[in-house]
Structure 1
Amino acid sequence: MPRRFHTIPEVAESLATSEQQIRALLRNGDLEGVQIGGRGQWRVEDDKLEEYIERMYAEQRGQ
């Protein structure tokens, strides 16, 4: 069964960027995620990551 949620390090690796950049995207709402647990650890759902990627491609195409 594939995983539904990903941690910040996993998302950073998928997008070939830093964990700090992923945190910034989450804080400003560009990338949707949920905070869980008492320490508020971020998780990003597969679908939200794919939506973000598609939105970035569309913006790059000027749509």
Structure 2
Amino acid sequence: MARKFYTLDEVAEALAISMSQMRALIKRGEIEGIQIGGRGQWRIEDAKLEEYIERMYEEQRRGLGRA
């Protein structure tokens, strides 16, 4: 099964957030990513992005008392 990895720019665009917000999510461990290459560029696997989105939906449901 092939994995798809996204750059931080791509994930930030998909979530409609700024790069500083994206970096904060990584730093706080709210979304998992890996650093690759000699320059340590971040990549986020599609499955991790989907997990993050689903977790945010679940938190929203709990906050509204619907879980």
Question: TM-score, normalised to structure 1's length?
Answer: 0.91
Whether 1:60 and 2:60 are equivalent positions in the alignment is: yes
Runs of 5+ unmatched residues, structure 2: none
Runs of 5+ unmatched residues, structure 1: none
Larger-Rg structure: 2
Superposition map of 1:1-63 within 5 A: 4-62=4-62, 63=67
- Total equivalences in the alignment: 62
Identity percentage of aligned residues: 66
Task: Point out 4+ residue stretches in structure 1 off by more than 2 angstroms.
Answer: none
Give a deviation string over 1:32-62, Cα, whole Å, max 9, x none.
0000111111000000000000000000111
Aligned-CA RMSD value: 1.5
